[in-house]
Amino acid sequence: MSEQRTELGDLGEFGLIDRLTKNIELVNSSTILGVGDDAAVISISDDEALLMSTDMLVEGVHFNLMYMPLKHLGFKAVAVNVSDICAMNGKAEQITVSLAVSNRFPLEALEELYEGINAACKQYNVDLVGGDTTSSFSGLIINVSVVGRAKKSDITYRSGAKEFDLLVVSGDLGGAYMGLQVLEREKEVFNANPNIQPDLDGHDYIMQRQLKPEARQDIIGFLKELDVVPTAMIDISDGLASEILHLCKASNVGCHVYDEKIPIDAKTSMTAIDFNIDPVTAALNGGEDYELLFTVKQEDFDKIKGNPNMTIIGHMTHANDGIYFVDKNGSAVTLKAQGWKHFE
């Protein structure tokens, strides 16, 4: 082992992945894509492929059981994995669930967790086909792996965006982050005085966005109905800005994204203002919305314009033109990601 010490915080999540996988060589002809996208792609026939992904949720890092109901946590653990398959323009079919759990959890707690897992399986029409359990000295850890399927011609990678493509996002953004801010505020109030009841009135929408996010499987269906195959796609887990940068890097393109086009729900905006946060900042950097960010060819504009489920928020440019956020005054500033960063 080398005596040199590199701090993980200096690398970040994706820098760490790059370092750990840089020497990996694919040896099986069936492996179309390994590390580097929302899911791996495995050939199973001339025209079909399996899509595989995995995500881990760690107590104290990804969730706080002080305000996260176990049933919601089980649902969310499945939804975030199904979202990865959606981001490849595929359909999730099977999952496995592995748990590391401490003895502070009784059987009834784990049954509640699995109620949420089963509810998500029913909603997304996926089968729970296996997993593992082990003990933990540091709380609850949930790992879900997902297998999906898609026609090879339909699979959408992060690397397919081209200059002049339109940048599109589903749903609205920033709600999950603002829901987290309300929950954290009420947690601090409770810690200071357990006799005070949490004040969550009027925050139902953003609470749901944080505690029970939905994988946008419906968007994949809408795109098929519209006969639109995105040129590139990613799901929004770490914030809009971060995901735009990932698409641009993978596709070797630039981008202009417009402040006034970013879809933000009124409840999200009002809560952000109450917290002295710019709503657009919450949308750009908040994360955990699990909406889909994708690019389409300009000739598909007429197919998606006016669709209530999708919003065109910008366009892709030549890589040399840079990646810019254009504010309401028309001023362009270099887009930077300030969302969640592991190991810091």
- The structural domains of the chain, ordered by start, are 8-151 (3.30.1330.10), 158-334 (3.90.650.10)
CB-hemisphere CA count at 13 Å for 197? 2
**Torsion of the alpha carbons at 223, 225, 229 and 233, rounded to the nearest 10:** 20
Q: What percent of the chain has pLDDT over 90?
A: 83
Contact present, 165 and 297 (Cβ < 8 Å):
yes
Q: Summarize pLDDT for 98-136 with one digit per residue, the tens.
A: 999 999 999 999 999 999 999 999 999 999 999 999 999
Contact present, 111 and 144 (Cβ < 8 Å):
no
| Per-residue confidence (pLDDT) for residue 197, from 0 to 100 | 78
Give the residue from 87, 56, 308 showing the smallest Cα distance to 215: 87
- Under the banding of pLDDT at 50, 70 and 90, the label for residue 14 is low
Measured between alpha carbons, how far is 46 from 90 in angstroms, rounded to an integer? 16
Query: Per the structure block, which two tokens stand in for 267?
Result: 């409840």
Q: Summarize pLDDT for 134-148 with one digit per residue, the tens.
A: 999 889 999 999 999
Measured between alpha carbons, how far is 289 from 173 in angstroms, rounded to an integer? 6
pLDDT surpassing 70 at residue 263: yes
pLDDT surpassing 80 at residue 279: yes
Q: What is the DSSP letter of 205?
A: H
Query: Per the structure block, which two tokens stand in for 194?
Result: 């357990």
Contact present, 258 and 280 (Cβ < 8 Å):
no
Measured between alpha carbons, how far is 316 from 323 in angstroms, rounded to an integer? 9
pLDDT surpassing 70 at residue 286: yes
Contact present, 93 and 147 (Cβ < 8 Å):
yes
Give the residue from 113, 109, 102 showing the smallest Cα distance to 139: 102
| Per-residue confidence (pLDDT) for residue 2, from 0 to 100 | 58
| Per-residue confidence (pLDDT) for residue 32, from 0 to 100 | 94
pLDDT surpassing 80 at residue 342: no
Residues sharing a CB contact under 8 Å with residue 12, sequence separation 6 or more, in sequence order? 341, 342, 343, 344
pLDDT surpassing 70 at residue 343: no
Give the residue from 294, 309, 126 showing the smallest Cα distance to 222: 309
